[in-house]
Amino acid sequence: MGVRETIEVTGHLMDSGILSRVLDDIRDYGGDYVIEQFDVGHDAHDPSSARIVIEAEDDASLQRLLMRLQTRGVNPIGEREAALATADRDGVLPDGFYSTTNLETRVRLDGAWHPVENPEMDCGLVVDESDDGGLRVRTVPMADVSEGMRIVVGAAGIEVVVPSQAPTSDAFASVGTDGGSDRPQTVIVRQVADGMKRVRAEGKRLLWVAGPGIVHTGAVPAMVALVRGGYVDVLFAGNALATYDIESALYGTSLGVDVATHGLEHGHEHHVRALNTIRKAGSIGDAVATGVLTSGIMHALVTHEKRYVLVGSVRDDGPLPDVHTDVIEGQRAMRAEVAGVGYCLMMATQLHSVATANILPATVPIVCVDINPSTVTKLADRGTSQGRGIVTDVGLFLEQLALELVADYRRT
């Protein structure tokens, strides 16, 4: 063993389990440690702090361990300068690049700390000049790297800030004492509704990510009510949700179909015709404008001037003309809508939910609803405590949510 670094970690170390995870990481990365100092919070409300010397085989290993620890909110001690290297070709980061977390981050350059403009995980950090001649630091996904960019390498000179309070506690805490009885599922719906109201009151945007299960569990009316009620600012989805919603609007569906057992049958040509109809119209917006499409979720988004980003996948038929068929372009379109988002609801889709979680900063609470526990687990188990998973029926969940949020929503 050779190289060492002293790190410091502060907070509710023990009851949050952070320290265990930090020590696990050190072991997983083949490092060793000595706890130099440990100041334990005296009572339940005091934070603790620890100063730990970590040791790794060589500097490259040490830097990578430090980056790993930063996903836990742990920073090296001292105010060193960040190191930079130049990208020597498009789409490739320099060796030893700093791999980002989605936490609030700052970088020390020229003796001063610079905040990262748009935290996103698994990116590089590019440094360039701001309009006023100072330095700015922002994340850059690998595919968007250009030759000549100045990129941060190593973990020196970088600090991350763990949210002083988990976003979820902020978003869910205020249920209060009015409930009293033992009814978790309906209580949980109300907590989500309260979180949405609060975020909207703060002027932030509500982002939804939704899969075709929304249509198949019969939640279109609830979802339309939520759009009308102003609880959907942006929708991220794939070709399937939009197509099934439009198919349902164009062709109707028989009442009471047991979708739990029927499922989405391929070869049922309705959806191909729905696709062709919208392609002929030019776009979803055109189809609404010309009276071809007169109901459903996509119609509601268009008529209420809400935003949506549809990104395709290899399994798509069609696709709809509004769909980004290039997934990297699609990611860029999604990133362009993330600013100002204060709350994210992920409904019955794994692919687009993971894609969204990949680009959201850690400060945005995520609620993931799915009847499949494995999808919920994948989303809720991200690095931070940002995600909350709810294993339930998305159809009944949205019905209850619309009842909570939209005053005139009545089941007919």
Interface with a copy of itself in residues 50-109 (CB under 8 A): 50, 64, 67-68, 71, 89, 91-93, 97, 99, 101
Task: List, in order, residues 6 or more apart from 410 with CB less than 8 Å away.
Answer: none
3-state secondary structure (DSSP) of residue 257:
coil
Terminal CA-CA length for the chain: 71
State in angstroms the smallest separation of the CB of 318 from a copy of itself.
6
Of 51 and 135, which CB lies nearer to a copy of itself in the complex structure? Answer: 51
State in angstroms the smallest separation of the CB of 394 from a copy of itself.
9
Of 159 and 370, which CB lies nearer to a copy of itself in the complex structure? Answer: 370
Task: List, in order, residues 6 or more apart from 332 with CB less than 8 Å away.
Answer: 144
Is 315 a binding residue for a copy of itself by CB under 8 A? The answer is yes
State in angstroms the smallest separation of the CB of 91 from a copy of itself.
6
Of 135 and 221, which CB lies nearer to a copy of itself in the complex structure? Answer: 221
Type and span of the H or E element at 38: strand 32-39
Site residues (CB under 8 A) for a copy of itself, limited to 113-142:
121-122, 141-142
Per-residue tokens: 310: 């549809």
State in angstroms the smallest separation of the CB of 164 from a copy of itself.
18
Beta strands 341-347 and 366-370: pairing type? parallel
Place of tokens 């979803």: 284
Task: List, in order, residues 6 or more apart from 303 with CB less than 8 Å away.
Answer: 288
Beta strands 124-129 and 150-153: pairing type? antiparallel
Of 43 and 132, which CB lies nearer to a copy of itself in the complex structure? Answer: 43
* CA pair distance 55, 59, nearest whole angstrom: 10
* CA pair distance 347, 344, nearest whole angstrom: 10
Question: Which of 76, 319, 342, 387: binder of a copy of itself (CB under 8 A)?
Answer: 319
Is 34 a binding residue for a copy of itself by CB under 8 A? The answer is yes
- Cis ω on the peptide bond leading into residue 76 (within 30° of 0)? no
Q: How many residues interact with a copy of itself (rule CB under 8 A)?
A: 135
Site residues (CB under 8 A) for a copy of itself, limited to 153-212:
172, 175, 177-189, 191
Is 28 a binding residue for a copy of itself by CB under 8 A? The answer is yes
Question: Which of 33, 197, 229, 286: binder of a copy of itself (CB under 8 A)?
Answer: 33
Is 336 a binding residue for a copy of itself by CB under 8 A? The answer is no
Question: Which of 2, 17, 148, 340: binder of a copy of itself (CB under 8 A)?
Answer: 17
